[in-house]
Every structure is written in C-alpha cells, then in structure tokens.
Structure 1
Amino acid sequence: MSSTPSAGPFQPLGADDPAVVGGYRLAALLGTGGMGKVYLSYTPGGRPLALKVIRPEFSEDPEFRRRFQQEVRAAQRVQGLYTAPVIDSDTEGPQPWLATAYVPGPSLAHAVARHGGLPLRSVLLLTVGVAEALDVIHRAGIVHRDLKPANVLLAADGPRVIDFGIARAADTTALTGTGVSVGTPAFMSPEQAAVGTVTPATDIFALGQIAAYAAIGAPAYGDGPSHAVLYRIVHEDPDLSRLPERLRPLVTRCLSRDPAGRPALGEIIRLCDEISPEPLRQGENWLPEAVTGSITDRLRLPAPVPTPPPQPAAAPTPTAFSPQSPMAPTPTAFSPQSQAQSQPDVAQPYAPAGYTPTGYAVAAAPTQAGPVAPGAPAAPAAPGSVPPSHWSSQATSAAHATPPPGGTAHQPGFPSAAGGPAAPRRKRTALIVAASVIGALVVVGVVGSLLSNGSDPSDKKERAGASSGGSANGGSGDKAKPEERTGEQAVDGVEEKQADPEPAHYKGIDVPLSYEVALTDDPPQLTEKKGSAVIYGKGDFYHYRDALFGDGHLGTAKGKLVLLNSGQQGSLEVCRQETRYTKKVDLDKLATGSQLCLLTTGGHIAVITYRGESAAGDPSRYISVDLSVWRDAEEPQVR
C-alpha cells in the first residue's frame, strides 16, 4: 500500500481521519494509496511507526480479510536488512490495520519526480539492496506482486522494500473490478498483465523496471493509458536507449518476456558487482546530496499528539418533580443499607501506556452522598455524554422497584434519586401507578395465553424437546438455559453449522521435478526445492523422484494423501469421509484421470486430478494436474 507524493512528508489529520487506531494515537498523515491511508504514530516508548489503515471497501470483503490475515502472518516472518518489519496489526477489527517500522526517507517515485534519475553507483546499490530484500521475501514464501518505485523507500543506509505480499489480499476480490486500483500497470510483468500468473520471476521483472526507472527517470515502457502500457509490456520490447550502456545487458535480461529467461537474484547481485567500477558498499553517501536532503526533512518528526486529561463531568442539574406530569420519574425506594454496594466498572478498550483512545464516553461520577441503591434511577448524564448500558437498565427497572423490608420510599432525611429533597407522595398518584401496573400484567398474561394457544403443535414439541427432561406433551422439565437459546451461532441450543467454502478450480498445472505446490496462494504457487529437500519443504504437495531407485511419486510434507478408487468421484464430502490416507503415492499407480484427495495441516482440502507426465524426450520432467481446492475447509492443525 503505497503513499502518494505530497507537498510535505507530514500532512495534518483531516476531519475524516481517526485520532486513534488500535490504541496508537495518530500524529500525521503520510500518504494515501489504493488500499488505504498511511499515518505516522509512535510506540509507547516513542519509536515512530507507519500505520496503514485499510479502506472500508476492502474491510467489508470476506475474501480480502482472509487473505489479508494470511499475508500479515507471512509478512511477520520477513526480517531483512532492506525491508520494513511488521510491528503490530489487527486483521479482525472493524477496519484492519498494519503497523511497520517508520523509514525516514522518500520513495523512489518521489525522489525521481523531484530530482530526476540517479547516478550509476546509486542505481547499482539500489538494485542490489532490492534484490537482497526480495531474496528474504521469497524465502518466506511471499511474492511481492506490486514492486514499484512507490514501494521502495530510500533510507540513509540503503533502500527499503515495503508492502510485500499485501497486494495479493486484494487480488480477485469483488473490488478489483469496481474502479479500485491496486498496483501500477507500468511495472507489471507480461505474464501478470496477460493471464494473472504470479511467480518469484514476476518480482525479477519488476526489479528490472525499478533499475531502469531509477537510471533514466521514467518507466521503461513509457507513460500513457493503462491499456496501452500493458499492451507494450506484453507484446513489445522496452526503450532502453537512454539507459547507461553498462546497465543494458542486466536490465534486458530482467525484462525478458519469458520468466525462465530472467536471472536469479544471486546472479543479479553478482552482475551489479561486476558492472560497478568500485566495490559496492551501502553507506551514508550512496545517494546524491539533493535526495539526502529529503531524508533530513523526514527526520524532523512531528511531536506525538498529547492525550488531553479527562475532564470531570458537570454536576447534574436537579429537576423539578411534578406528580401530575406524565413524563415525571416514578418515585423509587431507597435503603441506607445499600450504600455499601457499588456500581460495576465500565469496560474500556485497551491502549498502550500513554495512549488513551478517544471517542469513548466515560461514566460521570455520582453526585449523591453514596453509591446508587439497587433499582434506583441513574443520575442525569452530563450534556453530550453517553451513559453506560447498565445505567439504562437500572433506570428502566426503577418503575418496578419495591421498598426494602421495614423501609419506605423516600424516608425523611435521605436524599432522592435526583439529589434534591424527596417530593411528597400523593395517594391519587399511587393509585394510578398501581392500577397501571396491574392492567399491564393482565394484558401481558392475555397476550401470552393467546400466543400459546395459537402456536403450531410442532413448535410446542420442539420447545418441549429443548427442555431438559421435557416431553412432547408439555411435561415438566427444566427450561433451556438462556445462553443456549440466544446468540448468532445457536438456535434452540443447537449450534449452526458453518457453510462449506466454495471450491477454486485450476486446470493444467505443470509441476516440475523437485517442485512443491502451496495451495494457500491463488493461483497455487510453485517453489523449487533441490534434491530431497522437497520432502521436508513447506508446500502442500510435491513432485519427487528417488535418485537411488528411480521411482517418482507425488507426496505431501504438510498433510495426507489418498488415491481414490476408480468408482469414486472426488469431492469435498468424499475427501472428508476417506480414511486410507498416506504421505505419498507412486506415479506408476496413476493413470490419466486418476484422482487423489489431499488434506493439509493448514485446513485446506483439494482434489488432484492426474493428467499425465512429460514425454520421455522432453528435457523438462514434470507432471500435469488439475486442482479443485476448498480453502479453510477444516480447522488448521497445530503442529
């Protein structure tokens, strides 16, 4: 989630910006991107943070929330020298957010827009730093997907790559087709722009774009409408005529339309060292002086916004009591013995020390000589305040309060609920109140009887059966507990079953030898594992051939497999009912159309349909499969 360039690095908060997010008090607006806004905040110890709040449109999409949660967990594993580490997050709140370390430096997009292209040494140091960051990101099982100049920050000691993997959460959600732009077409790879395929090689293409942009000060495929730029990326070669001659071979290879023709990250770092006339060492002088001035500007952080001290609530104004007024409060009982009781505390949201969230109403202090008696109405709230919920319930029940044994309502010498002297009780008012209560009880009884007699007999049986020891004929028994009969997840004591997820289907996936497949990604991601390391990898299933015995098999390192019988048709229910699971299935037992069930420890269930393997003369060894994946179909297993 990148931020847009602005006149200054720190913008004041607007009327629609929150004051506090997740207990962190916001100090300034850093920028706005396609997925939300980025704010400056501080830890309780005073360290600055970049806090990114997701747009409400994305927050309302369940698929986005599921993916965002997965990507944040993955991003927390990335701890590289050239990345901004994740510090804190909330993926389940009303509006998800993510906090990373604040990087005091402009983005590459901002620096180039202000000062033009960078010198060769700066470009090479930028390239090796981003390559090292991508290596750490890829090792964590993440493909950045949205590497662009706005997501590369220029710090004093080297570049920092941000927002790795988060763009994946917005892929294929309902929002991507409704005008919400996530990502920049000018820096997409051909396979990403054409068919949406994303692999680590996608980030290599973007790295070539980053190097070219930093050197010439403009995108390698030019500017213009998105569809025109994407067409050039897919079908034409980039214009590298303004690129320094030493850089052209490296950038040209990175921008190969064939992902297999792009160099690996280690090779990119080695080639940059060969291109540089002097050893490449990151340091404080790796950027031009003009860009370094932008870093200085971002070190002048605005002070944290102080939390105003809580103001005492104004004392309530006594209200005149008139028995003849139809809206006057009903006199209530007061007992001097009840002064030992206290009001329950009001739960407040957690916040780090020194950061008191705003926007929550605080209960006003009682103005009576002692605590409010049970059943007594609450004191009037201060203007603009919101009384806690338990005050409302007490005020509602006050009309039905009864005097304590031996006591009378408003005994002489005790204050009334309003804080003033007790008003005289009149017999006429008491008779009216008593008649009203009796009439209400009669009406409630008649209505309840009518409802009971007019209900469906089957409903009676269900209600009777829900009672402990009850019978269909209305026999006696304990009633069901209230908590068993209420709530969004339970009806009459029976918990509602969560709906099964919809399957995702993928056709013609080629899995090369010694590659593993991760079902979490959409589409499933393939990762190479050399030798037997694939058996101990992180993928959900893999293609492996034993070097000693020469037999190939399809196995899983994070779940269990079963080869279905010829008469079985793979489905979610069939896979759940199967018990003949194993860790691997030999390829010689598979024929075209054979189906296997895969249950992963991450809770995903898949049906793998085998379509065959590469021909004997083919230089590449691979198997072809179709996949049907039910993600999060089961609870993940704790290992």
Structure 2
Amino acid sequence: MSGQQPNRGNASQVFQPLAGDDPSTIAGYRLAAKLGAGGMGKVYLSYTPGGRPVAIKVIRPEFGEDPEFRRRFTQEVQSAQRVQGLFTAPVIDADTNGAQPWLATAYVPGPSLADAVVAHGALPVEAVLLLIAGMAEALHVIHGAGIVHRDLKPSNVLLAADGPRVIDFGIAYAADATSLTGSGVTIGTPSFMAPEQAAGRRVTPATDIFALGQVAAFASTGSPAFGEGTSHGVLYRIVHEDPDLSGIPERLMELVSRCLAKDPEARPSVAEVIALCQTANAETVLRRPEDWLPSPVAADITVRAAAPAPLQTPPPPAAAPAVAYSPTTPAGPSTPPPGYGPPVNPPATPPPGQPQQAPQTPYPMQAQAQAAQPTQPAHPAQQYQTGPQAQANAQAQFPATYPTQAQTYPGHVPPQGPGAAPQPAKGRGGRIAGIVIAAALVLGLAGGGTAYFLLKDNGKETRSNESPKNNNTPQPGSSSPEANEGDGGTETTPNPTPKADPTPADYTGINLTAGYHLTFGDADVRPQDGEDGEYELAYDTGGYLDAEGEGGRLALLDPGQEGSLDICRSETRFTSEIYVDKLSKGRQVCVTTGTGHLVLLTYQGHSPEDSPSTYMTIDVTVWRNATS
C-alpha cells in the first residue's frame, strides 16, 4: 500500500472523486474522497465522529481471501495499534476479519517524500538531517513494538509541517504471506530493499536501517542509491554491488555509507543514526523550525490541508425561515462533511424536513403526510425549524399531503396552539353531528341483534357483535374459519399446543481433526473420517469449517456474544464455511442443519505446532429437531 498522498498538484488531484467501483461507506465511515491506490489496495478520506480526518486503507479482495495473509495482517495491526510515536501515523481503527480487511490511520496533510522530490527536486542538507532524525525516532517506537517495517521507502514517508510521518509499518509482512506476491502483484519497491531481504534471508531491525540510508540518498540526490531499471537488475546490484554515492553531500556521506553496509551487524543502531545526524549538524541539538521544508514543498501541505466536503444540492426553502440554525463552518480538515464517520449516539434532532413536535397519535391524513416526507438532506437553514413557520413551509412544499383541515374521529382531542389545524366551530353543527353519531350507534345495536338471531344454527350461535381477540386465531371452544365455511360450523378445531423447546445435548472437549466430520443426529456425536458428503459439519483440510449436506448453514457470532437456542434461531448472517483462523478461544458458531437440528459450537483452541495431526477442540450443544 502506498502512502496516503500518492498524487501531486491541486486539491482536485489530491482528493479524487469516488468512482463507480468505490464503496460509499466502510464500517460506518462515510468516504469523502479517494486519496490513492497501491499494490495492496486503495486509500480513502473519511472523518471520525469528533471531526478528525482519517485515511481508510481498504485491502484488495485477493489478499483478504488468503487465510495466512489474514492471520499475519491481524497480528501486525494489533502490534501497530501499540505504536504511538511523534513521527508515525497511528492506527486508530481496523477490521481484519471482515469480507474486505481495512484499517484507519490518522490523516497526514502533506505530500509523500517521493512526490515532493519528483515535483520539486532534492531536499537541502538541513531538511534531510531533520527528515532522517525524525524517521529514526519513528523506527525506535516501531521496533519497540516488535515490528520490522520491511517496506520503508519514500512513498511511505509523509512530510507534515512539524516533521515526517512514517506509515504502513508491518503491512509488508502480511503481504509476504500470500502467493499473490508471486503472480504479478507488486508489494514494495526493489530499489529500497536490503540485501538480506532481496536474497530471502532473515529480516531484522537492521533491515530498516539499510532502507533508511537509501531514503537519505534519494532525498539528497533525487535518485536511488542503486539506480533504477528492472527489478531483478536492481536487486542484483543491491546484493552484489556498491551504491552510487557520487552525488551525496559531504555532510551526509558518513551517515549514508554506514547505513548501506552489506553486513547487517555493521550498520548503526537507531540511536547512532540520530547521533550521526547531530554530528552532521555541527554537533548542535537538532531543532525543527516551522519552515523546515523548502517553500514549494510547504505549499503542497497547504493544498492537502483543505479537506473536501461532499457536494449537496438540497431544495431551496419555500419561504424565509422564522427561526433557523445556521452553523459556522471553520476551514481546514478538522471540519467533517455532514454525516461522515460512524455515529456515536442517535440524533436527538428530528429528521430533515419534518417539524419538531411532541409525540402524539397522528391524524389519518397526517400519517399519509409523514409517509410522503422526502428522504434527501434538508438545507441547513431548514433542518432545525420549529413552530408555525415550519408547518407553513411544509404545507408550501407538500400542499397535497398537508390538508388545511385535519380529520377527526369521536373522542379525539385535536392539538391546540398556534400550529394546530383549524377545527369545526361548536354549536348547532356540532349538535347535529352528535345526533347523527347517536343514530348510527342505535342502528348498529339493532343490526347486531338481528344478526344474532339470523345466524343461529342448530343451537350453535355466532354473535356478529362480539369480536374475538384475534380474527386470525380461533379461540378455545369456538369454530375455526375452515369449519364455518364448509359444513355450517358443526366441527371445531382446537388450538394446537405450543411445541416445547427440545432438551439440549452437550458434548464437551471434542477434538475435531482436519478431514473429519460430525453428524449431530447421532446419539454420540464424535468425529468420523471424511470431509465431503451428506454430513452436517466438516473440518476441511483447507482450514475451514464447512456446512455439509443440503440446507446446512453457519453463522459466526460476534466476539463476546453468548449463544443460545433463541440466538441461533434468530441469527441470519449465514455462510457455508468459516475459516479457523478467524476463531479465538470462546468464539461461538451457530449451525443450522438441513435435517432440522440447531447446534452451538464453542471454539476452545487448536492443536499445538508440534502435534502430528491438525485438529481443533470444540464444545458442542445440540438442539435436535429445533427448526421444525
């Protein structure tokens, strides 16, 4: 994955609009723009609920399909979340188990070192010393968290106003786990690898020191120390030839040459790198001024600081609002576009376009009007209107759904106040309405009595003026709808007795070996050889649980979620297979079999590395015939 800012130029080039194949949201983060793309995926701009801009890095689906990549990626993200350095972009959120893995880091408003050098040329010596010293501090906290960056290169170094930021530490380790790196997918840049990395030998923190020397050479000369060209040619020179240091400034020569030693043991430590930077700076304390970068590079930071807001075209207000909320929008990336980022709490304000009123039983026509409300966002000047003016605006915009006179029904007390709909005047007209209603009630009672006598049949009575509690459910002792239709109601159908929940059967400590299956209808649930067939659950040798048999389904419960019969009955996040590397101790899986059983699996662990067989240990609870 390349850096957050792979593009140069004006804001329209930095903040690219979302294309048709780009998602609009990632786990509740609404995406505002695309920042770039690299070998491992795409980078998007979004905002936290508090308004801080973040970079969302979405991993390519091909990597997400590789179980070993997911395992390593999870480890590296967990380690990266412990890195809290002044010169790193911290990982603040991630999902390593979803259909498409992603992580969110703090957004850094600045160009990458690669973009800055390509656009404006090599940096002055003073800026290079501050750059390398800051990167060395970043490596100190990264290595302290047990991480080797493995992909330290100019595109993974962002230039902010207060110093550099190292990003994407540890991600290359996860990429090494997938076979995709050998099938046309490029991860990393050969020009900035270390000899031991290019030769496939053990990688250590000294590997990052070699890359640090390469970055220093690139920043001070504008070219890689081992040249450019085909990947195999560059890698051969890194392993077997000396770097080209002819253009390195004299003050940087010792720093760069020592970092580029072929032998990892001969390279300086992080602390020694910082000391070399201080020595090259006339042994004075390194001070980072506000203008530590050349002015053309600093201008690129200003362009990237103007975070974009999504374009919205709300309908114009029908009339000038009497009372409106008009927020003041500060400039800069700290202002999120409305609605961006995952919500913290449900909104306390009414939905856009609806007046704020106390809850009440709606009139029949008001219910229709509410259903007809538009769903597009309202203009900010309309969004928080209250009082009679709000209703006037609503009537002006939707005259067909807001009648001038609300319909009433007996016993209803219409709303009062200046915003209430006008009601009919009391007096002679009201008395006439009362007489009509009374007459209707008398006729209704008389009609009910007539029906009582007409519907008598063989001493069995059905009273039309008595309504059952549920028209669709026959009551005990009453005739069912089917009996009334066919034979004059001479037969009755009693209510069926609710079926009791089946008694669970528990089986603990089952060691399910890869290539074996379970059949939950057996009195003794135990592993049996075979992973493909009309079974109900198999541990496939490919490393996943498989719902065998017709109609079998699996559902992975959330971490900490306590499974039960009701939970498994209501769960709908179905899949046919679940990879074992997604499971941790105590994680539970609901199984619905095609034969009608419900099963709760509790994962307890996996076979040790030195075990001659591969198996998982699970506890099983079976509710037989629970779905029928």
The TM tier, using the shorter chain, reads 0.5 to 0.7
Greater Cα offset, 5-14 or 128-137:
5-14
Distance 2:138 2:275 in 1: 15
CA distance, structure 1, for counterparts of residue 233 and residue 55 of structure 2: 34
Amino acid at match of 2:52: R
Whole-angstrom CA distance in 1 between matches of 2:532 and 2:314? 41
Equivalences for 1:439-458 in 2 at 5 Å? none
Return the letter of the residue paired with 1:97.
Answer: W
Out of 267, 288, 296, the residue aligned to residue 282 of structure 1 is 288
The answer to whether 1:199 aligns with 2:204 is yes
Q: 2:160 aligned to 139, 155, 160, which one? A: 155
How many pairs align? 371
SS of the aligned residue for 1:82 comes to coil
Q: Does the Cα contact within 8 Å between 1:64 and 1:169 map onto a contact in 2? A: yes
> Which residue type is aligned with residue 182 of structure 1?
I
Residue 352 (1) aligns with residue 358 (2):
no
Equivalence for 1:517: none
1:302 to 300, 303, 308: 308
Contact 1:52 1:99 in 2 (8 A): yes
Residue 7 of structure 2 corresponds to which residue in structure 1? 5
Instruction: Report the secondary structure of 1:247's partner residue.
Output: helix
Indicate which of 62, 81, 87 corresponds to 1:76.
Answer: 81
Whether 1:260 and 2:265 are equivalent positions in the alignment is yes
Q: How does 1:39-438 map to 2 (within 5 A)?
A: 39-277=44-282, 278-303=284-309, 351-353=342-344
- Which deviates further from its counterpart, 298-307 or 225-234? 298-307
Alpha-carbon distance, 1:170 to partner: 0.8
CA gap 1:264/1:307 in 2 versus in 1, 3 angstroms:
farther
TM-score, normalised to structure 2, is 0.53
Q: 1:244 to 1:631 in 2, by over 3 A?
A: farther
Q: Which amino acid aligns with 2:257?
A: T
Distance 1:261 1:632, change over 3 A: farther
User: How far 1:489 sits from its partner (Å)?
Assistant: 14
The CA distance in 1 between the partners of 2:92 and 2:193, in whole Å, is: 29
Structure 2: unaligned runs, 5 residues or longer: 316-340, 348-361, 366-460, 473-481, 487-518, 526-530, 545-603, 619-628
SS in 2 for 1:78: coil
Q: Residue 191 of structure 2 contacts residue 226 of structure 2 at CA under 8 Å; is this kept in 1?
A: yes
Q: Does the CA contact (< 8 Å) of 1:490 and 1:496 recur in 2?
A: no
- The answer as to whether partners of 1:501 and 1:632 remain within 8 angstroms in 2 is no
Per the TM alignment, residue 605 of structure 1 is displaced from its structure 2 partner at its CA by 3.6
Structure 2 counterpart SS, 1:41:
strand
1:529-566 per-residue CA deviation (whole Å, 9 max, x = no partner) reads xxxxxxxxxxxxxxxxxxxxxxxxxxxxxxxxxxxxxx
How many Å separate the matches in 1 of 2:521 and 2:15? 65
Q: Structure 1 runs of 4+ off > 3 angstroms?
A: 304-309, 353-356, 367-370, 405-408, 462-468, 488-492, 494-502, 601-607, 628-635
Q: Are the aligned partners of 1:27 and 1:305 in contact in 2 as well (CA < 8 Å)? A: no
CA spacing shift, 1:198–1:603, aligned 2, 3 Å: farther
Change (3 A) 1:465 1:26: closer
Alignment partners' CA distance in 2, 1:15 and 1:50: 20
Pair 1:251–1:631, CA change in 2 (3 A)? farther
How far the C-alpha of 1:5 sits from its partner, in A, is 2.8
Query: Is the partner of 2:142 in helix, strand or coil?
Result: helix
- For residues 633 and 464 of structure 1, the distance between their equivalents in structure 2, rounded to whole angstroms, comes to 21
- For structure 1, list consecutive stretches of 5 or more residues without a partner in the other structure: 310-349, 357-366, 371-404, 417-426, 432-461, 469-487, 503-600, 608-627
Distance 1:205 1:79, change over 3 A: same
Counterparts in 2 of 1:184 and 1:463: CA distance versus 1, 3 Å? closer
State the shift of 1:306 in Å. Answer: 6.9
d(CA) in 2 for partners of 1:270 and 1:114? 30
Deviations 1:355-401 (A, max 9, x none): 99xxxxxxxxxx9989xxxxxxxxxxxxxxxxxxxxxxxxxxxxxxx
Tell me how far 1:223 sits from its aligned partner.
1.0
Structure 1 residue 354 displacement after superposition:
8.5
- Does structure 1 conserve the Cα–Cα contact (< 8 Å) formed by 2:72 and 2:177? no
Q: Provide closer, same or farther for how the CA distance between residues 634 and 186 of structure 1 changes in structure 2, counting only shifts above 3 A.
A: farther
Letter of the 1:5 partner, please give it: N
Give the AA of the match of 1:70: Q
CA distance in 2, matches of 1:603, 1:210: 43
C-alpha displacement of 1:279: 3.0
Contact 2:49 2:342 in 1 (8 A): no
The answer for the alignment partner of 2:31 in structure 1 is 26
3-state SS, counterpart of residue 17 of structure 2: coil
Please report how far the alpha carbon of residue 464 of structure 1 lies from its aligned counterpart in structure 2 after TM superposition. Answer: 7.3
Q: Which amino acid aligns with 1:213?
A: F
Cα distance in 2 between the residues matched to 1:216 and 1:631: 53
String of CA shifts for 1:403-439, please: whole Å, max 9, x gaps.
xx9799xx9xxx99xxxxxxxxxx9xx99xxxxxxxx
Counterpart-to-counterpart distance in 2, 1:47 and 1:632: 45
Aligned partner of 1:208: which letter?
G
Deviation at 1:629, TM superposition (A): 11
What is the CA deviation profile of residues 14-51 of structure 1, one whole-angstrom value per residue up to 9, with x for unaligned ones? 11111111101111111101100001100111110011
Structure 1 residue identity aligned to 2:301: I
Q: Are the structure 2 counterparts of residues 630 and 174 from structure 1 closer, same or farther at C-alpha, using a change threshold of 3 Å?
A: farther
SS at match of 2:150: coil
Q: What's the CA shift for 1:496?
A: 4.7
Note the C-alpha offset of 1:467: 10
Once the two structures are TM-superposed, the CA of residue 271 in structure 1 deviates from its matched residue by: 1.0
* Residues 88, 304 of structure 1: alpha-carbon distance in 2 compared, 3 angstrom cutoff: farther
| Equivalent position amino acid for 1:2 in 2 | S
Does the 8 Å contact 2:83/2:145 carry over to 1?
Answer: yes
Q: Residues 24 and 355 of structure 1 are in contact (CA less than 8 Å); yes or no, is this contact kept in structure 2?
A: no
Give the direction of change, closer, same or farther, for the CA distance of 1:498–1:18 in structure 2 (3 Å limit): same
CA RMSD of aligned residues (A): 4.3
Alpha-carbon offset, residue 197 of structure 1: 2.5
Shift of the alpha carbon at 1:285?
1.5
Q: List per-residue Cα deviations over 1:112-140 (Å, max 9, x = no partner).
A: 00001000010000001001100100010
The amino acid that maps onto 1:298 is R
Structure 2: which amino acid aligns with 1:31?
G
Moved more, 234-243 or 166-175: 166-175
Deviation at 1:161, TM superposition (A): 0.2
Between the aligned partners of 1:630 and 1:294, the Cα distance in structure 2 is 57
Paired letter, 1:290: P
- Say yes or no: does 1:16 pair with 2:18: no
Per-residue CA deviation, residues 264-308 of structure 1 (Å, 9 max, x unaligned), is: 110010111011135311231211111100111111111257799
3-state secondary structure, aligned to 1:246: helix
